A and B are shown apart, each in its own frame.
Chain A
Amino acid sequence: MAEVKFEKVKKSFKDVMVIRELDLTIEDGEFFTFVGPSGCGKSTILNMVAGLEPLTGGRIYFDNILVNELSPKDRDVAMVFQTYALYPHMTVYENIAFPLKMKKLDAKIVDREVKRIVGILGLEEFQQRKPKELSGGQRQRVALGRAIIRKPKVFLMDEPLSNLDARLRIEMRAELKRIHQDLKITTIYVTHDQGEAMSLSDKIAVLLQGEIQQSGKPLDVYLKPANIFVGGFIGSPPMNFLTCSLQNLRPVEVNCNGLIFSPIMEDMPKKGVIMGIRPEDVSISVEPSGDSVEVSVSLVEPAGSFNWVDAQWGRVKIKGTAKVNEDLKAGSRAFMKFSVEKVTVFDAVSGKRL
């Protein structure tokens, strides 16, 4: 177990800056996730921690020990790859035993440890099979087993679930969380799936073009996104963004599609603002109520206990939710409302939260 510290870490490939300047501390035993769209540099960060990719600048420490110059095997990290990267010519048993064999441990200890890991992961009956005779989920388990058997300082996972089908993904997600709770090994996880990041992590960092947009507890990031990108990226379906003009500064009044709001802001906007409101905070109903506005329904997607509804409010498209018993159809008239406390306000120019 170890604390991982990034100090002014930079990385470029030839002339392309991939990581601009990363300053971050991942605490001992934490489950930390880098989340971002593809090409944001998240896998590069993992490779730098693993020692597979040299740094262009800056330092990485494990528990205050500089690891920049250490080779992968001296860093004592374990990694799970998206493609599992099992050794095709070895059996499940040999795959899981491999890291310990490389440490030249006694055969008896290796055997005992492999038996234990195989037990934890429910792979007893597959020990003598080759990877190609396993299903995706089983391969994933073997890859996990090969990583956890070493009790590494840091556990690295590069989109480990993205090759699984939806159901298995949810199952393995819970399993990963359970394993982390049992072993309490510092884990750095990389994904483009914000849902996965939210549900697994103690802390997340949202990356865009090699820069951390925001880091913190998943719920904090969800409730108080630092900018428009984070607001739109975290949460599914994504936040609605409504462009508003500034009507009055003291007290603040913004005009959105003809409606006047006085949202709570910590900072003063310079020009216009953009209001972000999550679809789950927008309710759409057939019956008008107090301060609702009229909209026309363009799409209804049942989600089981409620329906997602796409609606047209004047020139603005907005997504909200409706109760299942509401009789809404594409083209029908409805009424929408949301509470102004749930609104996040961004500066229209800088995109930062106000």
Chain B
Amino acid sequence: MTKRISFYLLLIIAILYCLCPLLWQFITSLKPDYELTRIPPILPEKPTVAHYISIFKGYPFSRIILNSTIVAASTTIFSLIVGSLCAFGLTKLKVRYKAIILGFVLSVSMFPPIATVSPLYIIIRSLGLRDTWWALIITYTTFSLPLSIWILTNFFKEIPDEIYLAARIDGCSPFQAFQKIILPLSGPGIFTTAILVFIFSWNEFLFALTFTSTPNSRTIPVAIALFQGIHEIPWGDIAAASVTVTVPLVILVFVFQRRIIEGLTAGAIKS
């Protein structure tokens, strides 16, 4: 019994540890301005939704959410299309030097973003894509591809080769086999990849800061960072905005939780 209690106690401590910053943020977002810096950060006597109203009134926040949604969703779709085709080729087709290709793909994700931001900026500018959605979609797709390819490669490896070969013999071209057999069997892998890529694009800051200059294409993290006024930092608005944009992600993860767990642990045990 005591074992049980200590187990749950430990669990609660761990959860609180992880949730604390979020909770603090949430509480801050409900505080009237004069209470913002009060320590300890407990719920205010008179909670207010003024900050939530202010972010949509004082800033073009709906447009910014739209920007982020379109950029993250498009990135996810492109990354999945290219990544799954690539992973399919690397697992089921006769391709030489598979290991080297995979290693090369992985090495791309090892460049620190700060090292590539200047050349990328020059490319984006000369393509005339500065301050557009495309600037971010293209960049994010490039940077999320190694992740997509790696996760999906491991997923497709789990599908026995015989199933692919059977499809070929039953009259499928390689692409039909991919579309009719391999893809439907990889649901959890696709979901896992999609969520991870979406979160990456939703939260990315450096490229978004560099490639955007107006609310036309600015994404959420940049917009929040640029909230600061001339004389003060509007902590309340920042907190309200952060909570607002975190909620969709949390909902997304909860909805697909089961699939994601399936995806992250697939291959751990032989089925």
Cα of A77 to Cα of B168 in the assembled complex, Å? 10
B169 and A50 contact, CB distance less than 8 A: yes
Whole-angstrom distance from the CB of B185 to the nearest CB of chain A?
Answer: 6
**A79–B171 touching, CB < 8 Å:** no
Main secondary structure of the interface of B (DSSP, over half): helix
Query: How many Å from the CB of B189 to the closest CB on chain A?
Result: 14
**Residues of the B chain whose Cβ atoms lie less than 8 Å from the Cβ of A83:** 160, 162
Nearest-neighbour CB distance to chain B for A89, whole angstroms, equals 5
- A103 proximity list for chain B (CB < 8 A): 171
Contact indicator B162/A72 (Cβ below 8 Å): no
Q: Does A338 contact B (CB under 8 A)?
A: no
Q: Are B166 and A81 in contact (CB under 8 A)?
A: yes
Find chain B residues with CB under 8 A from A86 CB: 163, 166
Asked if A73 and B163 sit within 8 Å, CB to CB, the answer is no
1/0 per residue, CB under 8 A from A, across B158-179: the answer is 0010110111111111001000
A81-B184 Cα distance, complex, nearest whole Å: 21
Q: Hey, which chain B residues are within 8 Å of A6, CB to CB? A: none
- Contact string, B177-211, partner A, CB cutoff 8 A, digits 1/0? 00001001100000000000000000000000000
Q: In the complex, what distance in Å separates the CA atom of A72 from the CA atom of B181?
A: 16
Chain B residues within 8 Å of A126, by CB? none
Dominant SS among interface residues on chain A: loop
Nearest residue, chain A, Cβ from B171? A102
* A81-B162, A81-B165, A83-B160 as given contacts; A88 in contact with B185, CB under 8 Å: yes
Min C-beta distance of B199 to chain A, whole Å: 27
Asked if A98 meets B165 with Cβ closer than 8 Å, knowing A88-B185, A89-B184, the reply is no
Cβ 8 A contact of B169, one of A79, A82, A87, A88: A79
In angstroms, Cα B167 to Cα A73, docked, is 9
Query: For window 128-167 of chain B, which residues contact chain A by CB distance below 8 Å?
Result: 160, 162-163, 165-167
- The reply to whether A73 and B162 form a contact with Cβ atoms under 8 Å apart is no
Given contacts A85-B160, A89-B184, contact A52 B171 (CB under 8 A): no
Q: How large is the interface on B (under 10, 10 to 19, 20 to 34, 35 or more residues)?
A: 10 to 19
Contact of A72 among B168, B184, B185 (CB under 8 A): B168
| CB closest residue in chain B, given A103 | B171
- Cross-interface CB contact of B165 among A52, A87, A88, cutoff 8 Å: A52
Q: Is A238 an interface residue (CB 8 A)?
A: no
C-alpha spacing A88/B158, complex, angstroms: 13
Contact with B along A131-162 (1 / 0, CB 8 A): 00000000000000010001000000000000
Contact in complex: A85, B163 (CB < 8 Å): yes
B168: contacting residue among A52, A82, A88, A150, CB under 8 A: A52
Residues in B neighbouring A99, C-beta threshold 8 A: 170-171
Contact of A102 among B160, B162, B165, B172 (CB under 8 A): B172
Alpha-carbon distance between A150 and B173 when the two chains are bound, in angstroms: 17
A117 at the B interface (CB under 8 A): no
Contact B169 A78 (CB under 8 A): yes
Q: Bound state CA distance, A149 and B167, in angstroms?
A: 14
Least CB separation from A77: chain B residue: B169
Q: How far is the CA of A351 from the CA of B166 in the complex (A)?
A: 40
Cross-chain contact A87 with B160 (CB below 8 angstroms)? no
7 shortest A-B CB distances, which residue pairs? Answer: A102-B171, A85-B162, A85-B166, A99-B170, A73-B171, A81-B162, A72-B168
A-B contact pairs, 6 of them (CB 8 A): A52-B165, A81-B165, A83-B162, A85-B160, A86-B163, A87-B166
Given contacts A89-B184, A102-B172, 5 further A-B contacts (CB under 8 A): A78-B170, A79-B166, A81-B162, A85-B162, A87-B163
